[in-house]
Amino acid sequence: MVQSKKQKYLFLAFCLVPTFIMFAIFTLYPLFSGLYYSFFDWSGASQHKEFVGLANYISLLKDAIIPDTIIHDYFLVATKVIGIMILAMFFAVALTQLKIKEAPFYRIVFFFPNIMSVVVIGILWTFIYNPNLGLINSGLEFLGLESFAKPWLGDENWALPSLVLPSIWAGIGLFLLMLMGGIANVSKSYYEAAEIDGASQWQQFWKVTLPLVWPQIKISVLYIVITTLNGSFIIVQVMTGGGPNNATHVMGSYLYQQAFVQYNFGYGATIGVMILILSLLTVLILQFFMRREKVEY
């Protein structure tokens, strides 16, 4: 392009600087000052901000609720990964390999909950779990299994597992599409070759499909882990608010309660730092374990 250096830099600045300033103010600055706040005892009023060093981190280690919130988060991560991956993989294979005519219909329907608001999903499912009117208890009654009916979200043992189903329900479509994209890229000739060698459908799945869509599986698992650790508190907040008796508190909902309900902003920031560290560590560890030689036949 014919233009002077100065003009080029002016244009570059025009393109990059305003955006970067906004990004720095509303994303970078809050993240770093979140780290900074975690060393203060602070109830929100600026004159009472007191530097306390690592005191927040020490109380974090002593806080009896923290280990529970971590366990709850990883429980959701594990159950969601297993539930979503098995179902999405099953549906993806069914929709791509078996040449079902109405496959686009299923794809469109299964994906829709992915773009529903968490508030709508949460309220809908709160009603499905409703002890008196809810679909689950009515269904159990219909099947003559009244003894299994319970106030799902009000039961300390069942509230957390009850949150898994809505998350799977809402999440499956995206991963179905990602896996279907992966399977569609596998050349037909591999399946034909496997067929000639007498491989059963099941063997074809394990020996051909699974290794060849491994990149998509890896991305899906990482994505579920990241979005759960960074966002599981939203559905918790809508459906149970962390209750009953802290049985469903996850790290993020506990942060919200500490910071924005009880005004322990310094301590809230400390929980935020913990979430950041744990989610980065988890992703690193997972990436290490899911490393696999790229398969080529």
Partner 1 sequence: MKRSVGQILGRTGIRIPLILWTIAVLYPIFWMFLGSFKSNAEIYRNPWGIPDSFNIQNFVTAWSNYNIDISVFNSLVVTLVGACLTLILSIPTAYAIERIHFRGSKLLFTLYVSAMMIPMVLGWIPLFFLLMKLNLLDNIFGLAIVYAVSQLPFSIFVLTSFISTIPKSLEESAAMDGMSPYRVLWKIITPLSLSGIITVTIMNAIQFWNEYFMALIFLQSSENYTLALAIDYISSEAQYTNAWGTLFASLVIAIVPVIILYAIFQQRIAKGMTEGAIKG
Show contacts with partner 1 in window 139-168 (CB under 8 A): none
For the bound state, the minimum distance from the C-beta of residue 166 to partner 1, rounded and expressed in Å, comes to: 10
Query: Of residues 57, 75, 106, 190, which one binds partner 1 by CB under 8 A?
Result: 106
Interface size with partner 1, residues (CB under 8 A)? 89
Q: Which residues contact 40 (CB under 8 A, 6 or more apart)?
A: 49, 50, 51, 52, 56, 266, 269
Count of H helices and E strands in the chain? Answer: 14, 2
Which member of 69, 79, 240, 279 binds partner 1 (CB under 8 A)?
279
> Which of 61, 78, 86, 135 lies at the binding interface for partner 1 (CB under 8 A)?
135
Residue 145 CB, shortest distance to partner 1, in Å, is: 17
Q: Please give the Cα distance from 238 to 24 (Å, whole number).
A: 30
Cα 130 to Cα 152: distance, rounded to the nearest angstrom: 8
| C-alpha–C-alpha distance, residues 117 and 93, integer Å | 28
Cα end-to-end span (Å), the chain: 45
CA atoms within 13 A on the CB side of 136: 18
Residue 15 found at the interface with partner 1 (CB under 8 A): yes
Q: Is 65 in the site for partner 1 (CB under 8 A)?
A: no
35 makes contact with partner 1 (CB under 8 A): yes
86 scored as a contact of partner 1 (CB under 8 A) = no
Q: Tell me which residues in 107-126 interact with partner 1 (CB under 8 A).
A: 107-120, 123-126
Find the helix or strand (DSSP H, E) in which 274 lies.
helix 265-289
Interface residue with partner 1 among 76, 79, 80, 91 (CB under 8 A) is 91
CB 275 within 8 A of CB 229: yes
Among 72, 159, 272, 282, binds partner 1 (CB under 8 A): 272
Cα distance between residue 66 and residue 71, in whole Å: 9
The residue within the footprint of partner 1, chosen from 27, 187, 200, 203 (CB under 8 A), is 27
Sole window of 3-11, 144-152, 204-212, 288-296 interacting with partner 1 (rule: CB under 8 A): 3-11
Spell out, one character per residue from 202 to 231, where the chain touches partner 1: x when CB under 8 A holds, - when not: -----------------xx-xx--x--xxx
- Residues 128/135, Cβ–Cβ less than 8 Å: yes
Closest CA to 281 of 74, 124, 143, 82: 74
| Closest CB to partner 1 among residues 76, 229 | 229
In angstroms, give the least distance from the CB of 158 to partner 1: 19
